[in-house]
Structure 1
Amino acid sequence: MAKLRTGIDSAFWDLNVASPRCHDGWAKAVPGGPFPVDGSVGSRVLRPQQLSFFGNGIPLPTLSPTSPKDLGSLAFHSLLLKLSSPRWWLAMTGQFRPRKLISDVKNEISNADDFGLSTVKDVAKHFINKSLFSFGLTSQFAFPPSTSMLLALEGHGEKQTLRRKLMLFHKLPDHDLTLEAAWPQLFVDHMGKYWDVPESLSVDLSSLLSESGLRYHVGIHKNGGIPKAMNATYSNPPLSLLPGLCAKAAFSHEKTKYFWRDKSAVEQENEEVFPYDDRLKEPHAAVSGIIGSSFTSWIWNGKSFSSIDSRDVPEVSTSKRSRINTDLFGSVCYTFQHGKFTEKFGDLTRVDTRLDISSATAFAKKILNCSRSSTADPREKPSASPRLNLIFQQQIAGPVVFRADSRISLESFARKNGLPIEDFICSLSYSLTSLQSGKVVAWYSPKRKEGMVELRMYEF
């Protein structure tokens, strides 16, 4: 199935969106917004471990807009150093942007009257320009039997602020306990805009999915400082990122109904034949659904909205964030898969169609006020409109698969504004049979103008 748990993770603070902006390879989705497309959900494998899998010093290309623009979008990310022991490891990662270096060296040589020692020295200075480089340090400690702690530090040459992160994981028999703190924390909204929250702290207790399909989260989240837009032209922050202390609970129930399912097709034909991806080996058609509820209480609102300087945060003083909020969310998905993904050609075609309602309350208000909604700005309540997510996968050759993820706003579609594709991500993946359900994925997002190469595990 497509990721049904995206709903409850989006309602909470737990959803990581793949992003090349940071050395850890992800940013947090803004809570309360429309559900991100499945192809944008971050890998479960830590970025240093991904780079270690490819090998020390092997650069992986990434694309990400920069400020200033002369740095260029293309960068190469690689593992520079890794030390490990049975209960501890330390990794140093580096990133290099070649465009500015090539441009500066070219200009230096072309503007030189004669190519002498002074020109060589001037050219050499460009190779040590700190804006071309960024570095990250990540370390993880294991405390048997079920606790681990991760520390991360990241610095970009063109920025003075360091990114610091602390994560603590503890596994319980039927729950996962996670503590996460970041200074600052990077968030991305449904429009592809990035926000830096100076201080973010969260404690989350999440249950494992039970046999009945029930799952729940309980947690406390704290934001400190005024969110800063990475793009200066977009400066009105989402309300959920403003300073405050929030207690939140969410639960969901999911169910799957198979119309038909060829569960043992691979084993019946040939015991020596193995699928390229263990989770894509069953041809089937099924419908699945999830429904859930979230409860939010802002225990402390930080500064009152009326006291925030409007010069720093335009329009925030006129916005309202309810201290107590209860909402419903849900998704319905239809999946069809042809092929067992064992042959070299034409053995996998898969389509997932998922309808998401991220806020039933906002959707109901939109229906009741339909006359006013025709002139309302959809950015004011982005969760009010249902979204249709389409995922198409097609085997190209052997373990290589093309995938396209798209998200469509039904509200804009009803207004006959053409085909309003809010987000689109295309990717090529190479499945690794040695990992059962692991793959190397190269994806690109035209909306965010970003792309990267990742190692992903158990994506479905």
Structure 2
Amino acid sequence: MEGAARPVPGDPLPLGLSRGPRVTRTKQLDFLHRFMASPLVPSFSASGAGLSVHHAHLVHLAHNLSFTILEQLHVQKLVAVVKEKLSNRQEVSWSNDIKRHLHDVMSLGVGTELLITPDTTLLLELYNLKKGDRGKAIFRHKLPHQNITLEASWPGLFIDKNGVYWDVPLSLSADLASVGSESGLSYHVLLQQNSGEPKCFGGGEETSDVPVALLPGLCAKAAVSIKKSIDVWRKKEDKLKNVQPYDVFLSEPHVSFTGIIGAVASGSFGDCSKRMSMQNEILKSNAFKYFDERNKFAAFADLFASVNFTAQHGNFQRLLLDLTRVSARLDISSGSLFLRGASQLAQDFFFSRRPDLETFCDVCPDVIVSLQQQIVGPFSFRVESTVTIDPKKQDHFVRVDDSVFAIDWALKVLGSAKATAWYSPKHQEAMVELRFFET
């Protein structure tokens, strides 16, 4: 019902998760109901409740106050109840039987949002009211050049790099982030407190180890980066006059590169500090690291970098085949490990030594490639995949680890927004959501 999960600290953002600005799930559902003729919005999770449909009733109590009732219907459970009823020869009234199973097939939630000032909002949501075990409170304030977010979740929902969801009984966070820009300096400061033992979401059996970063404790993290975009080629002519593109950010054919380089520093108190002594990437790198097991304190600092290549053909104005877009992103999560490996490979080359495969793996970046192709009008098909380069496996030197397939419906009236229906075959998940300013 929440429609959102935070990545585990230190893990990359899994495919499928939005990287653009988000609105609350409540507002997403309300928009889909009102303007896209979708009274029921589906989602699917093979490891959870299977196929579900969602609906939201949004009521404006005042010009700055709204109240919402959230409904989630578990379709597969409902079908099972109906089959059981049809196969049961005993004459039991349908109404009594449905009431008996209503607890299993439907979940209810409520939420309220208060607009304190034009730049300040307070959101309170409670999920699964029958059990009364999920909720969150979010305070947001916009400054001229920063965004402040204070959040309390009980439990906090996180997703790790393998796509596994985890519940932390209580998660508190304070977030300060600079407003994003095409180029220049940006920064992000996060303070997070986790309490209680993490458990696999939904109460299922834990098939993987609990992420150490989610263990109880306090973590402070700060990151600063510099971003630079370079256009190799951009064509601003040949646009149709008086025809608005389906997405203003996808209206110019171009070939461009974007580079990001930055530094991150963190300090941890409590059980979550054990992460510094357990991750192989941290132990092998030359990054600054300090771990005091007795006092449960750890500190860490490192560099990171990212390079993104994008090529686009078409203006996304015409009815058919007016957008083809490919991109590839190379992420270096540990700059110190990369520099250490690159230095070792340079020495091996200079002295004509055979390079170590482990060292070669250290300099291989994480690669994400994507392709977007217009189908007709505002509809386009998109596929995004992670590509792993592993010289240790000669038969699978390059392999595709994960892919997400999506159909995007560009919402022309909003400038740069889209309704996205995506599916992940690896994790057997699917969802329909709104995304903004995401290219």
TM exceeds 0.5? Answer: yes
Letter of the 2:402 partner, please give it: D
> How far, CA to CA, are the matches of 1:445 and 1:39 in structure 2?
11
Contact 1:413 1:420 in 2 (8 A): no
8 Å contact kept, 1:205–1:217: yes
Residue identity opposite 2:28 in structure 1: Q
* Structure 2 Cα separation of the partners of residues 285 and 205 of structure 1: 33
Distance 2:206 2:17 in 1: 27
Match of residue 301 from structure 1: 270
Distance in 2 (CA, whole Å) between partners of 1:413 and 1:276 is 45
* Two-structure CA RMSD over aligned residues (Å): 3.0
* 2:420 is the counterpart of 1:441: yes
Q: Cα offset for 1:142?
A: 1.2
Are positions 1:360 and 2:315 aligned together? no
Distance 2:213 2:339 in 1: 21
What CA deviation, in whole Å up to 9, does each residue of 1:284-320 have, x standing for no partner?
000111111100011x215996xxxxxxxxxxxxx98
Shift of 1:417: 2.5
What are the residue-to-residue correspondences of 1:3-402 with 2, within 5 Å? 23-37=1-15, 40-41=18-19, 44-55=22-33, 58-66=39-47, 72-112=49-89, 116=91, 118=92, 120=94, 123-125=97-99, 128-155=101-128, 160=131, 162-209=133-180, 213-230=184-201, 231-266=204-239, 269-270=240-241, 272-298=242-268, 300-302=269-271, 323-363=298-338, 373=358, 386-402=365-381
> Structure 1 counterpart of 2:46, which letter?
P
| Cα distance change on mapping 1:82 and 1:43 into 2, 3 Å | farther
- How far did 1:248 drift? 1.4
Contact preservation (8 Å) 1:25, 1:42: no
Return 5+ residue gaps in structure 2 as ranges: 275-291, 346-354
- Say if 2:30 and 2:57, in contact at 8 Å, map to a contact too: no
Higher relative contact order (CA 8 A, sep 6+): 1
Give the counterpart letter for 2:220 in structure 1. Answer: A
Give the superposition deviation at 1:419: 4.5
| Residue aligned with 2:87, SS | helix
TM-superposed CA distance for 1:246, in Å, is: 1.5
| Structure 1: gaps spanning 5 or more residues | 1-22, 306-318
Post-superposition Cα deviations, 1:253-291, rounded to whole Å, max 9, x if no partner, equal 11011011113542xx42x11111111101000011111
C-alpha displacement at 1:161, in angstroms? 5.3
Matching residue of 2:406: 427
C-alpha distance after superposition, 1:43-100 (max 9, x if no partner): 6121111111122681011101345xxxx51111111343342211111111101222
In structure 2, the residue matched to 1:311 is none
Q: What is the SS of the residue equivalent to 1:215?
A: strand
Residue 199 of structure 2 aligns to which amino acid in structure 1? K
Distance in 2 between the 1:283 and 1:350 partners?
Answer: 9
CA contact (8 A) 1:60 1:76 kept: yes
| 3-state SS of paired residue (1:341) | coil
Aligned residues: 405
CA–CA separation in structure 1 for the residues paired with 2:320 and 2:272: 60
Determine if contact 2:42/2:53 at 8 Å carries over to the other structure.
yes
Aligned twin of 1:405: 384
Check the 8 A contact 2:389/2:397 in 1, yes or no. no
- Is contact 2:253-2:314 (8 Å) kept? yes
AA matched with 1:26: A
Paired amino acid for 2:149: T
Contact map agreement 2:146 2:176 (CA 8 A) in 1: yes
CA contact (8 A) 1:131 1:156 kept: no
Structure 1 Cα separation of the partners of residues 173 and 12 of structure 2: 21
Q: How many percent of aligned residue pairs carry the same amino acid?
A: 38
Counterparts of 1:347 and 1:356 in 2: how far apart (Å)?
Answer: 30
C-alpha spacing 1:386/1:247, structure 2 compared with 1 (3 Å): same
Separation in 1, partners of 2:129, 2:339:
45
TM-score, length basis structure 1: 0.80
Q: Distance in 1 between matches of 2:167 and 2:195?
A: 11
